[in-house]
């Protein structure tokens, strides 16, 4: 039997970190060595992640206590990884960063969207953008992977075949994502207060969402494109539904669209085309992918115009964070891609 891959997590008290711990504890090829948290130093993991009660004896340790291991996952707040990446690289050859720090290839774009100079711009090109379905080959030999933003992942996977084939009017796409409250992290805020948030439908980022930069980077293929992006926050905990309105630059029928999506995704385990004529779940829904690493994608062609509505959905903490990172980890380490990621979700949820 092969040796287990030793893994540590830096910043494991947040929601993405918690899901990653859970996945790694059950991964047959992984030994989870250490999990850091300055805030919960010395506490048992289950005190923060109550679903892990009786699953592990690990306690949160300090960053300074980190020992060397095979792979480090970074789950730090945005802006914290770029300044400390070399330090972690002394401990582990391979690093998977779940923050936004190394997603954009172009430091000028980083400055524009994140409002500060990148601290380590020459490192940007060493990171592979973390969506396996787009960058699998690079991941196989990568030492650094930067997990994609959750809203970006949902949008990109929904639109990739269309943009890749050049079928879209480049400046007209409108994307409306609806997101759950776990996107905001595990710190309570005024706007996450239950009486405020319960039943709310809140236009929290009608323009200028930072994930727009990633979407453009991954879908432009050398052309100038525009993504008119808005985000609305809902009273759900996990999940994203992206409704993308694209305008086709040629006559395509629904069967053509089917063929296109099958061409790109038929062999992708974690992508499912969902388009039913009847039943409660005719299009993708966050409920159905909650807890899973699936990205469900559906579409509807407007009979009256050249608009195609693409509906895509993921669990923001799984395919949008911990699950995507683990999928990349599997590829990077030559393991079967779905190892540890087979939970099919609950129904009803």
Q: How far is the CB of 184 from a copy of itself (least distance, A)?
A: 8
195 near a copy of itself, rule: CB under 8 A:
yes
Restricted to residues 214-253, the positions that interact with a copy of itself (CB under 8 A) are 226, 228, 230, 232, 234-239, 241, 243, 245
Q: Nearest CA to 349 among 289, 294, 293?
A: 289
Restricted to residues 13-42, the positions that interact with a copy of itself (CB under 8 A) are 15, 18-19, 22, 25-26
Restricted to residues 66-105, the positions that interact with a copy of itself (CB under 8 A) are none
209 near a copy of itself, rule: CB under 8 A:
no
6 near a copy of itself, rule: CB under 8 A:
no
Q: Which residues pair with 242 in a beta bridge?
A: 177, 312
Q: How far is the CB of 88 from a copy of itself (least distance, A)?
A: 26
Residue 62 region by backbone torsions, left for phi larger than 0, else alpha for psi between -120 and 50, else beta: beta
CA–CA dist 151, 156 (Å, integer):
9
| 48 versus 332: smaller Cβ distance to a copy of itself | 48
Q: Nearest CA to 224 among 174, 177, 169, 165?
A: 169
| 52 versus 63: smaller Cβ distance to a copy of itself | 52
The two beta strands, 30-36 and 5-10, are: parallel
Cβ pair 51, 36 in contact under 8 A? no
Residue 173, φ and ψ in degrees, nearest 5: -65, 130
258 near a copy of itself, rule: CB under 8 A:
no
Cβ pair 75, 20 in contact under 8 A? yes
Binding track over 142-181 against a copy of itself, x by CB under 8 A: ------------------------------x-x-x-x--x
| 92 versus 150: smaller Cβ distance to a copy of itself | 150
Residue 127 DSSP code: E
115 near a copy of itself, rule: CB under 8 A:
no
The set of catalytic residues is: 150
């Amino acid at each position: 039997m092969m040796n287990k891959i030793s893994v540590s997590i830096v910043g494991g008290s947040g929601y993405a970190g918690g899901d990653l711990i859970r996945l790694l504890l059950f991964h047959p090829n992984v030994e989870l060595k250490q999990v850091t948290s300055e805030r919960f130093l010395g506490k048992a993991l289950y005190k923060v992640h109550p679903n892990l009660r009786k699953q592990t004896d690990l306690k949160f340790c300090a960053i300074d206590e980190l020992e060397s291991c095979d792979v480090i996952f970074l789950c730090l707040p945005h802006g914290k990884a770029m300044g400390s990446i070399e330090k972690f690289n002394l401990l582990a050859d391979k690093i998977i960063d779940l923050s936004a720090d190394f997603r954009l290839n172009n430091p000028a774009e980083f400055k524009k969207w994140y409002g500060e100079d990148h601290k380590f711009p020459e490192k940007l090109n060493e990171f592979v953008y973390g969506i396996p379905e787009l960058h699998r080959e690079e991941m196989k030999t990568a030492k650094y992977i930067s997990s994609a933003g959750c809203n970006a992942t949902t949008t990109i996977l929904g639109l990739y075949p269309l943009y890749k084939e050049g079928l879209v009017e480049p400046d007209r796409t409108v994307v409306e994502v609806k997101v759950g409250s776990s996107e905001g992290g595990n710190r309570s805020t005024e706007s996450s207060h239950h009486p405020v948030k319960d039943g709310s439908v809140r236009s929290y980022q009608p323009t200028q969402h930072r994930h727009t930069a990633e979407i453009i980077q991954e879908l432009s293929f050398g052309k100038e494109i525009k993504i008119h992006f808005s985000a609305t926050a809902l009273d759900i905990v996990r999940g994203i539904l992206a409704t993308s309105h694209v305008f086709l630059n040629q006559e395509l029928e629904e069967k053509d669209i089917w063929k296109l999506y099958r061409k790109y995704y038929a062999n992708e385990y974690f992508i499912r085309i969902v388009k039913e004529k009847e039943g409660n779940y005719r299009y993708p829904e966050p409920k159905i992918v909650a807890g899973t690493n699936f990205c469900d994608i559906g579409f509807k062609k407007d009979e009256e115009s050249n608009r195609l509505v693409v509906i895509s959905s993921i669990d923001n903490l799984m395919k949008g964070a911990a699950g995507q990172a683990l999928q990349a980890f599997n590829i990077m380490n030559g393991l079967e891609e779905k190892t540890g990621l087979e939970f099919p979700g609950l129904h009803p949820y």
